[in-house]
Amino acid sequence: MFALADYLLHPEGDALPRDVDAQTVAALLARGVACRAPVSGAVYGTLLNDRAALQALGEAVHAAPYKAPPKAPILYLKPRNTLAGHRARVVVPDNALGVEVGASLGIVIGRTATRVGASEAFGYIAGYTLVADLSVPHASVYRPSVRFRARDGFCVIGPAVAAARHVAAPDALSIEVALGGREVFTANTASSVRNVAQLIADVTDFMTLNAGDVITLGVPHGSPVAHVGDTATLSIGGLPPLEVSFVGAKEHAGEQP
């Protein structure tokens, strides 16, 4: 069982995450506290769960080898090396390409979920968090490459997990990514092909999700691309905003994890 009362966050230097109220979260973040990822379970990204992303593919979804839009969720694993927390400094592998900054709602599972119906799905959710699902921009859609999506620090989570009761309408949350002096990127969880409950139902139809696991609702189409020197601030609904900085390999060298 993964349960929390209010907001779970893991300040750098603390041995364990804290379950605290909203005022404490706000005070800590206002002081500029960096955090570790507040969760330690498996993290699964969801691909092509955004209507605009499917539309952008056009007739390509009907071409070989698949010949049709996906009939089940397309998942990929964000392995342990990718996990990072609020105010992480992430290395940009190739500054010419940059790093796509995908702001995604993270659904934190509260108890073992196997073949859960959509009508029951919310009873299996402990809370929600913000996930910066990072990737090197690439054209491959159906076969996500490990080297594009599983670089060190390419899954920034937090700053906190908000208990499910604090997020009344997860399928209608505004999404924003502020990146440098550029226009703020905006989207909404309402554009998802599968909403939160249906995604859990469809995923648990073929695999078990365990307490503490995180599954993302998916990255919005057209997410912005960061380069060395950029700092991104990601916001989803009323969740505490998440900050990520992007650095070059030389600047990152010698830092402690």
What's the mean pLDDT when you consider all of the chain? Answer: 93
Percent of the chain with pLDDT over 70: 94
What is this structure's pTM? 0.93
pLDDT at 243 exceeding the cut of 50 = yes
Q: What are phi and psi of 67, to 5 degrees?
A: 65, 15
What CATH code would you report for 7-254?
3.90.850.10
pLDDT at 141 exceeding the cut of 90 = no
Per-residue confidence (pLDDT) for residue 144, from 0 to 100: 59
Per-residue confidence (pLDDT) for residue 256, from 0 to 100: 41
Query: Contact, 193 vs 23, CB < 8 A?
Result: no
pLDDT at 235 exceeding the cut of 80 = yes
Q: Is 122 helix (H, G, I), strand (E, B) or coil?
A: helix
Cβ-based neighbour number of residue 59 at 10 Å:
6
Burial string for 125-163 (b: 16+ CB within 10 Å, else e) reads bbbbbbbbbbbbeeeebeebeeebbbbebbbbbbbbbbb
Cβ-based neighbour number of residue 218 at 10 Å:
25
At position 189, the amino acid (one-letter code) is: T
pLDDT digits (tens, 9 = 90+) for 11-63: 999 999 999 999 999 999 999 999 999 999 999 999 999 999 888 877 777 77
